[in-house]
Every structure is written in C-alpha cells, then in structure tokens.
Amino acid sequence: MIKETIRILNENGLHALPASRFVKRAEKFNCDISLTKDGIEVSGKSIMGILTLACEKGSKVVLKCDGKDEDDALTELRKILEGQD
C-alpha cells in the first residue's frame, strides 16, 4: 500500500469534469484507491463519494493506492489532482 498527501491544484477544484475523469481513470487500475479529506475516506472509484468531499482548489487530500498496479495508479492520478493532465 502506498499513499501520498496531495494539494489539489486543479483550477476548479475536484468537481465536475476532473472528478469524472479521475473516476474513469481510477476504474482502469487493478487496485483499491481511496481519497481522504478532513478524516473522511471515500473510494476513488465513486463519483458520488468524491463529490461529497467537496475538494476545492488548494485543499489537501490523501491519495491511497493498494494493489497490483499501485505505483502506476498513484503517478497517474496525482497528475489529475494537480491539474497537470
């Protein structure tokens, strides 16, 4: 299991488009993925869960990946959160 604290740098926070892009990407990986903000943990493969975190630009989240391709998952998903994708 690997995890990393990431600051959301995406211009519009993690709403709408980035959130759905995140989920679509997350679903492709063969590992468990979760996002934690303010002590609340949700599945990285759940659009509704991510929306309820209400991650604005600048907020900090912990991205956790656990499974076969956890390294690739972390690298790719970090990019979306940081708005570089």
Partner 1 sequence: MARERILKGIAVSEGIAQGSAFIYESKRIDVFKATVLSLYLEDESERFEKAINKTRQDLINIQRHLNQGIGANFAEFLDAQIMMLNDRTIVEEVKKRIREDKVNAEYAYHEVMNDYANKLAESHDSYLKERVADIWDITSRTLGNLMGLTHSSILDIPDQSIVIAHDISPSEAALINPKKILGIATEGGGRTSHTAITARALEIPAVLGIEGLMGKIENSESVLIDGDRGMLIKNPSGGRVQFYRRAKEKDRQMEKTLSPYCGMPSKTADGKHIDISANIEFFSEYAHVRKYGADGVGLFRTEFLYLTRRGSPTEEEQFRVYHALAERMKPEPIIIRTYDLGGDKVFSDYHEANPFLGWRAIRVCLDDLDFFKMQLRAILRASVNKNVKIMFPMIATYEEIKRINLIFERTKKEMRAKNVKFDDEIQTGIMVETPSAAILAEELATQVDFFSIGSNDLTQYTLAVDRGNEKISRMFDHFHPAVLQLIKRIIDSGHKANIWVGLCGELAADPLAIPILVGMGIDELSMNPASIPRAKMVLRSIAVSTCEELAAAAIGFRTALEVKRYMRRMMHEKFPSIEKVTSS
Catalytic residues: 15
Q: Which is nearer to partner 1, 15 or 78 (CB)?
A: 15
CB of 75 to partner 1, least distance (A): 23
**C-beta of 34: minimal distance to partner 1 in Å?**
10
A 10 A CB-CB count for 38 gives: 10
Cα dihedral across residues 76, 45, 7, 41: positive or negative: negative
Per CB under 8 A, residues contacting partner 1 are 11-13, 15-17, 20, 23, 42-43, 45-49, 51-52, 54, 56
Structural contact between residues 31 and 70, judged by C-beta atoms closer than 8 angstroms? yes
